[in-house]
Amino acid sequence: MSKLFYNRWVLIGIPYGWLLLFFIAPLFIILGISLSDPAFSIPPYTPILEVQRGLEGVWQYLSELDVENFITVFQDRVYFASYLNSLEMAAITVFWCLIIGFPIAYGMSCAPASWKPKLIMAINLTFWCSFLIRIYAWMVLLSKEGVINHLLIALGVIDTPLTILNTNFAVYLGLVYAYLPLMIFPVFATLEKLDNSVYEAARDLGCSHTKAFYFITLPLSLPGILAGCFLVFIPVTGEFIVPSLLGNSSTPVIGRVLWTEFFTNGDWPIAAAISIFLMMFLVVPIILSQVFKKDKEA
């Protein structure tokens, strides 16, 4: 019994230890920096916890903490606009990934068993190349001298090259391309596990294909849809590479603001406060969804 108890705690302790070391601990470090003041030093903030001074150093560290950076971020319209732009960008990307990804996942789930590994591999091929290189490839394709403009001119569709690069359209195109697999896989995994007998029973009772899909397949696939939406929404909200390379500087997003504060302005406390606010924006919907799920199950 004791050995079983020990093995259980070891099994549970490994993932919790991983979360503690690589998520909780860095989060508290960021929180500590966000409660500090900027300084011309290395690292560029004060106060700094001096462990060697014992309790005196800890007390001095705690006494010098303040929430001034959070007040600044909360009151500054630039930061607020950046949050809103990032949330809007993430929501639109989730919408288009769902519109495009769900039919692909549904088609994969309905394909013959021998084809499914090949289709999964085809979706996985996008991850075999560096994310940065793939976005640079889109820069080549979308530029005025790129393949797309040359093709449109050759077909007689346009006379002069279009300005596609450094537009919102280019940003959303790059985001949907990059994060579409994260929507396809959880939806496919859910659809793959559905019991076809329920769908067939609905058809036997007189439902058309459309009604059976709307009333049977779609509601049963909601867990996969929700998982895919979170997998896309969370990383896109803090996305930096795609808006920087394919977009323009006129529309600030929170990822670019974080880069500026960290590496250009060197204001680590403000950047840390922005990060804490961003995490709050992302964690709250997840908590609400879990609460809603528990209430629904009860």
Domain extents for the chain? 86-254
- Residue 43, preceding peptide bond in cis (omega within 30° of 0): yes
**pLDDT at residue 296, as a whole number:** 60
38: left (phi over 0), alpha (psi -120 to 50) or beta: beta
In 4-70, beta strands by DSSP E: 37-38, 45-46
**pLDDT at residue 2, as a whole number:** 61
CATH topology for 86-254? MetI-like fold (1.10.3720)
- Report, as ranges of residue numbers, the positions in the chain whose pLDDT lies below 50: 1
46: β partners: 37
Only one residue has tokens 């067939």, namely 200
- Could you tell me the CA-to-CA distances from 289 to 93, 127, 143, 283, 294 in Å, in that order? 20, 29, 41, 10, 9
**pLDDT at residue 137, as a whole number:** 92
SS3 38: strand
Assigned token pair, 215: 């009333």
38: β partners: 45
The two beta strands, 37-38 and 45-46, are antiparallel
**pLDDT at residue 127, as a whole number:** 86
Query: By CB neighbour count within 10 A (0-12 exposed, 13-18 middle, 19+ buried), where does 97 fall?
Result: buried
Alpha carbons 173 and 93: distance in angstroms, whole number: 9
At 228-272, the pLDDT tens digits run 999 999 999 999 999 999 988 777 899 999 998 988 888 999 999
Residue-level length of the chain: 298
The one-letter amino acid code at 140 reads V
Alpha helix (H) residue ranges in 38-76: 55-63, 68-75
Among 77, 72, 94, residue whose Cα is nearest residue 237:
94
Assigned token pair, 187: 């939806």
User: Could you count the other beta carbons within 10 Å of the beta carbon of residue 251?
Assistant: 17
**pLDDT at residue 194, as a whole number:** 82
